[in-house]
Chain A
Amino acid sequence: DIQLTQSPSFLSASIGDRVTITCRASQGIGNYLAWYLQKPGKAPKLLIYGASTLEPGVPARFSGSGSGTEFTLTINGLQPEDFATYSCQHLDTNTYPFGQGTKLDIK
Protein backbone atom coordinates (compact mmCIF):
# COMPACT_ATOMS: atom_id res chain seq x y z
CA ASP A 1 0.00 0.00 0.00
CA ILE A 2 1.16 3.51 -0.81
CA GLN A 3 1.77 5.70 2.23
CA LEU A 4 1.74 9.49 2.21
CA THR A 5 3.82 11.37 4.77
CA GLN A 6 3.37 15.10 5.24
CA SER A 7 5.91 17.46 6.74
CA PRO A 8 5.81 19.31 8.93
CA SER A 9 2.89 18.02 11.00
CA PHE A 10 2.58 21.42 12.68
CA LEU A 11 3.51 24.82 11.33
CA SER A 12 3.27 28.30 12.80
CA ALA A 13 3.32 31.32 10.52
CA SER A 14 2.23 34.95 10.33
CA ILE A 15 -0.16 36.82 8.08
CA GLY A 16 1.59 37.57 4.80
CA ASP A 17 4.11 34.74 5.11
CA ARG A 18 4.92 32.24 2.38
CA VAL A 19 4.60 28.65 3.60
CA THR A 20 5.33 25.30 2.02
CA ILE A 21 3.97 21.92 3.02
CA THR A 22 5.50 18.72 1.67
CA CYS A 23 3.82 15.40 0.91
CA ARG A 24 6.02 12.40 0.22
CA ALA A 25 4.77 9.13 -1.25
CA SER A 26 6.29 5.75 -0.37
CA GLN A 27 6.54 5.01 -4.09
CA GLY A 28 6.02 6.91 -7.32
CA ILE A 29 2.45 8.06 -7.89
CA GLY A 30 2.81 10.23 -10.99
CA ASN A 31 0.82 13.41 -10.48
CA TYR A 32 -2.21 11.70 -8.96
CA LEU A 33 -2.36 13.89 -5.88
CA ALA A 34 -4.88 16.31 -4.46
CA TRP A 35 -4.70 18.83 -1.62
CA TYR A 36 -7.50 19.77 0.77
CA LEU A 37 -8.01 22.38 3.45
CA GLN A 38 -10.09 21.70 6.52
CA LYS A 39 -11.31 23.90 9.34
CA PRO A 40 -12.82 22.64 12.60
CA GLY A 41 -16.45 21.67 12.21
CA LYS A 42 -16.41 22.20 8.45
CA ALA A 43 -16.22 19.94 5.43
CA PRO A 44 -12.83 19.55 3.75
CA LYS A 45 -12.39 21.81 0.75
CA LEU A 46 -10.61 20.76 -2.43
CA LEU A 47 -7.75 23.12 -3.32
CA ILE A 48 -5.61 21.39 -5.94
CA TYR A 49 -5.77 18.19 -7.99
CA GLY A 50 -3.45 16.59 -10.49
CA ALA A 51 -0.66 17.87 -8.20
CA SER A 52 -0.80 21.38 -9.65
CA THR A 53 -4.27 22.20 -11.03
CA LEU A 54 -6.10 24.81 -9.00
CA GLU A 55 -9.74 24.02 -8.33
CA PRO A 56 -11.95 26.81 -9.72
CA GLY A 57 -12.65 29.45 -7.12
CA VAL A 58 -9.52 28.74 -5.06
CA PRO A 59 -7.35 31.85 -4.64
CA ALA A 60 -4.21 32.05 -6.76
CA ARG A 61 -2.02 32.35 -3.67
CA PHE A 62 -2.34 28.57 -3.43
CA SER A 63 -0.13 26.49 -5.72
CA GLY A 64 0.95 22.88 -5.98
CA SER A 65 3.89 21.18 -7.59
CA GLY A 66 5.71 17.90 -7.79
CA SER A 67 5.41 14.47 -9.29
CA GLY A 68 6.56 10.96 -8.50
CA THR A 69 7.26 10.83 -4.78
CA GLU A 70 7.55 14.44 -3.64
CA PHE A 71 4.89 17.12 -3.75
CA THR A 72 4.52 20.59 -2.29
CA LEU A 73 1.66 22.91 -1.47
CA THR A 74 2.68 26.56 -1.29
CA ILE A 75 0.67 29.48 0.04
CA ASN A 76 2.02 32.89 -0.97
CA GLY A 77 0.87 35.64 1.36
CA LEU A 78 -1.03 33.91 4.17
CA GLN A 79 -4.48 35.28 4.89
CA PRO A 80 -6.40 34.88 8.17
CA GLU A 81 -8.75 32.34 6.57
CA ASP A 82 -5.83 30.09 5.58
CA PHE A 83 -5.09 28.91 9.12
CA ALA A 84 -6.39 25.36 8.97
CA THR A 85 -5.30 21.77 8.51
CA TYR A 86 -4.02 20.71 5.08
CA SER A 87 -4.09 17.14 3.78
CA CYS A 88 -2.79 15.48 0.65
CA GLN A 89 -4.51 12.52 -1.00
CA HIS A 90 -3.36 10.04 -3.62
CA LEU A 91 -5.95 9.08 -6.23
CA ASP A 92 -5.05 5.56 -7.33
CA THR A 93 -7.26 3.25 -9.36
CA ASN A 94 -8.99 1.72 -6.34
CA THR A 95 -7.54 3.24 -3.16
CA TYR A 96 -7.36 6.88 -2.15
CA PRO A 97 -5.19 7.29 0.97
CA PHE A 98 -4.58 10.58 2.74
CA GLY A 99 -1.51 11.99 4.42
CA GLN A 100 -1.68 12.56 8.17
CA GLY A 101 -2.32 16.29 7.82
CA THR A 102 -0.44 19.51 8.55
CA LYS A 103 -1.91 21.96 11.02
CA LEU A 104 -1.10 25.56 10.18
CA ASP A 105 -1.68 28.05 12.97
CA ILE A 106 -0.95 31.66 13.68
CA LYS A 107 2.43 32.51 15.17
Chain B
Amino acid sequence: QITLKESGPTVVKPTQTLTLTCTFSGFSLRTSGVGVGWIRLTPEKALEWLAVIYWNDDAFYSPSVNTSLTISKDTSGNRVVLTLTNIDPADTGTYFCAHTARIYDRVSGTYRPRNFDQWGQGTVVTVSS
Protein backbone atom coordinates (compact mmCIF):
# COMPACT_ATOMS: atom_id res chain seq x y z
CA GLN B 1 0.00 0.00 0.00
CA ILE B 2 1.38 3.36 -1.08
CA THR B 3 1.17 6.20 1.41
CA LEU B 4 2.57 9.72 1.32
CA LYS B 5 2.58 12.40 3.98
CA GLU B 6 3.56 16.05 3.69
CA SER B 7 5.10 18.07 6.50
CA GLY B 8 6.37 21.59 6.95
CA PRO B 9 5.63 24.93 8.59
CA THR B 10 2.08 26.25 8.57
CA VAL B 11 3.02 29.95 8.48
CA VAL B 12 5.92 31.52 6.63
CA LYS B 13 6.85 35.17 6.22
CA PRO B 14 7.27 36.70 2.75
CA THR B 15 10.82 36.50 1.32
CA GLN B 16 11.63 33.53 3.58
CA THR B 17 12.45 30.01 2.36
CA LEU B 18 9.79 27.32 2.69
CA THR B 19 10.93 23.71 3.01
CA LEU B 20 8.37 20.95 2.63
CA THR B 21 9.04 17.26 3.15
CA CYS B 22 7.18 14.32 1.64
CA THR B 23 7.70 11.05 3.51
CA PHE B 24 6.44 8.00 1.69
CA SER B 25 6.13 4.23 1.97
CA GLY B 26 4.99 1.36 -0.21
CA PHE B 27 7.33 2.18 -3.09
CA SER B 28 10.95 3.07 -3.69
CA LEU B 29 12.57 5.95 -5.52
CA ARG B 30 15.28 3.46 -6.51
CA THR B 31 12.79 1.70 -8.80
CA SER B 32 13.05 2.54 -12.48
CA GLY B 33 10.38 4.97 -13.65
CA VAL B 34 9.12 5.99 -10.23
CA GLY B 35 8.69 9.65 -9.36
CA VAL B 36 7.26 11.96 -6.71
CA GLY B 37 5.64 15.23 -7.59
CA TRP B 38 4.44 18.29 -5.71
CA ILE B 39 1.14 19.96 -6.47
CA ARG B 40 -0.60 22.77 -4.61
CA LEU B 41 -4.21 23.80 -4.25
CA THR B 42 -4.51 27.54 -4.51
CA PRO B 43 -6.95 29.65 -2.46
CA GLU B 44 -8.99 29.86 -5.68
CA LYS B 45 -9.32 26.05 -5.46
CA ALA B 46 -7.26 25.31 -8.55
CA LEU B 47 -4.63 22.58 -8.61
CA GLU B 48 -1.20 23.75 -9.74
CA TRP B 49 1.59 21.32 -10.58
CA LEU B 50 4.94 22.50 -9.18
CA ALA B 51 7.73 19.97 -9.63
CA VAL B 52 8.61 16.29 -9.97
CA ILE B 53 11.69 14.19 -9.35
CA TYR B 54 12.31 10.71 -10.75
CA TRP B 55 14.32 7.70 -9.65
CA ASN B 56 17.24 8.70 -11.91
CA ASP B 57 17.37 12.28 -10.52
CA ASP B 58 15.59 13.81 -13.50
CA ALA B 59 13.76 16.84 -12.11
CA PHE B 60 11.24 19.07 -13.84
CA TYR B 61 9.62 22.30 -12.74
CA SER B 62 6.55 24.25 -13.68
CA PRO B 63 7.42 27.13 -16.03
CA SER B 64 4.40 29.02 -14.70
CA VAL B 65 5.47 29.36 -11.07
CA ASN B 66 7.31 32.59 -10.31
CA THR B 67 8.82 31.42 -7.03
CA SER B 68 12.15 29.63 -7.24
CA LEU B 69 11.66 25.87 -6.68
CA THR B 70 14.14 23.12 -5.88
CA ILE B 71 13.19 19.47 -5.53
CA SER B 72 15.47 16.78 -4.14
CA LYS B 73 15.26 13.24 -2.90
CA ASP B 74 16.69 11.27 -0.03
CA THR B 75 16.56 7.79 -1.43
CA SER B 76 17.68 6.02 1.70
CA GLY B 77 15.12 7.79 3.86
CA ASN B 78 12.16 7.63 1.45
CA ARG B 79 11.74 11.37 1.43
CA VAL B 80 11.39 14.09 -1.16
CA VAL B 81 11.98 17.74 -0.28
CA LEU B 82 10.61 20.81 -2.05
CA THR B 83 12.14 24.19 -1.33
CA LEU B 84 10.52 27.46 -2.30
CA THR B 85 12.88 30.41 -2.09
CA ASN B 86 11.87 34.05 -1.60
CA ILE B 87 8.32 33.04 -0.95
CA ASP B 88 5.36 35.34 -1.68
CA PRO B 89 1.78 35.56 -0.32
CA ALA B 90 0.69 34.13 -3.68
CA ASP B 91 2.32 30.86 -2.57
CA THR B 92 -0.33 30.38 0.11
CA GLY B 93 -2.17 27.10 -0.35
CA THR B 94 -2.35 23.42 0.44
CA TYR B 95 0.68 21.47 -0.74
CA PHE B 96 0.37 17.84 -1.82
CA CYS B 97 2.94 15.28 -2.82
CA ALA B 98 1.96 12.42 -5.11
CA HIS B 99 3.36 9.21 -6.57
CA THR B 100 3.81 8.82 -10.29
CA ALA B 101 5.57 6.48 -12.69
CA ARG B 102 7.11 7.38 -16.04
CA ILE B 103 6.79 4.80 -18.79
CA TYR B 104 7.81 4.57 -22.42
CA ASP B 105 5.00 5.68 -24.68
CA ARG B 106 5.37 4.02 -28.07
CA VAL B 107 3.01 6.44 -29.80
CA SER B 108 5.05 9.53 -29.00
CA GLY B 109 8.39 7.78 -28.56
CA THR B 110 8.86 9.54 -25.23
CA TYR B 111 8.88 8.77 -21.54
CA ARG B 112 6.02 10.30 -19.61
CA PRO B 113 3.73 9.52 -16.70
CA ARG B 114 0.09 8.57 -17.17
CA ASN B 115 -1.12 10.19 -13.96
CA PHE B 116 -0.44 10.93 -10.33
CA ASP B 117 -2.19 8.00 -8.75
CA GLN B 118 -1.59 8.25 -5.00
CA TRP B 119 -1.57 11.47 -3.03
CA GLY B 120 -0.82 12.60 0.48
CA GLN B 121 -3.40 14.44 2.56
CA GLY B 122 -1.70 17.78 2.07
CA THR B 123 -0.21 20.42 4.32
CA VAL B 124 -1.58 23.94 4.59
CA VAL B 125 0.85 26.82 4.23
CA THR B 126 0.03 30.47 4.79
CA VAL B 127 2.47 33.14 3.64
CA SER B 128 1.90 36.25 5.71
CA SER B 129 3.86 38.83 7.59
Chain A interfacial positions (CB closer than 8 Å to B): 1, 30, 32, 34, 36, 38, 42-46, 49-50, 55, 85, 87, 89, 91-98, 100-101, 103
Contact = CB atoms under 8 A, between A and B. Distances in A.
A97 B117 contact: no
Contacts, number: 73
Contacts of B64: 1, 97
B112 A50 contact: no
The SS class assigned to the B binding surface is strand
Nearest to B97: A43
Contacts of B98: 44
Contacts of A44: 39, 47, 96, 98, 116, 119
CB-based closest 6 A-B pairs = A43-B119, A49-B115, A94-B60, A98-B47, A34-B115, A96-B49
Contacts of B96: 43-44
B121 A55 contact: no
Given A38-B41, A43-B120, A44-B119, A50 B49 contact: no
